[in-house]
Structure 1
């Protein structure tokens, strides 16, 4: 299985970089992992809704260039479906069984994802009704993917 994380913005904090590296290393046993970091657009203070949409559109165009046609796209979106960790494990397992050998997770920038990216998504996933910083979300997502692989291979993982 190939997993791609397409992320807007670079990890800046050392602890986030270390967390992402640790889970990337652990996932190497289970899948081929690619993490694609795309530049984020600077959002001016008090940006209008129109300006925010322009920024999301620019970031979305970058994301779409990296989404392969044969990839099952899971977009992280606040209005997506919320799953338990067992349900996420089942979803990833089901995708692999039914022939989706490439799954792309998309994490947008601080303003979220453009409508074009959300339309391209095969599935929208939400981790909470709360908002998390997109940089922290990368580490959380990597941990949950790792947890899913541990569950699907009947290996213990702290609950």
Structure 2
């Protein structure tokens, strides 16, 4: 028991204190090198101006707030389709496997996308759980937590915890 507490204290002491320290720590440096090789040499997600995890596909037409790009470098299997636009607020966190789809196909012609729907807007300080899906036209307010595996089909106000398929309000997010 005492040994476990000692191990935890030492582990906690060695953890990075801020985002920049985390980005360049030895535990993520290898992943960053792999991401760089896939993006710059293999040309996967080459048009995206920030580093993306090598298993993710991200559109170049998305707009990111501050401190969002590092989560795309670490969270694998994300798919961000930005045909109608995707706007992501500051300090938003993405877990692995998040899918953001901003356009549907036209009903009469499946080779074209419906561009009449507005962009997806995700507010500041949101947390999108693993394997969550956000569908066209959705607007999430600030400080919204989306549960893992949720399918978000409609817009939600700020300070909420939402989950389910389709997503519904679970409770108010007390800050």
Question: Is the pair's TM-score, using the shorter chain for normalization, greater than 0.5?
Answer: no
Where is the helix percentage greater, Structure 1 or Structure 2? 1
When normalised by structure 2's length, the TM-score is 0.26
**Does 1 or 2 have the higher relative contact order (CA < 8 Å, sep 6+)?**
1
When normalised by structure 1's length, the TM-score is 0.28
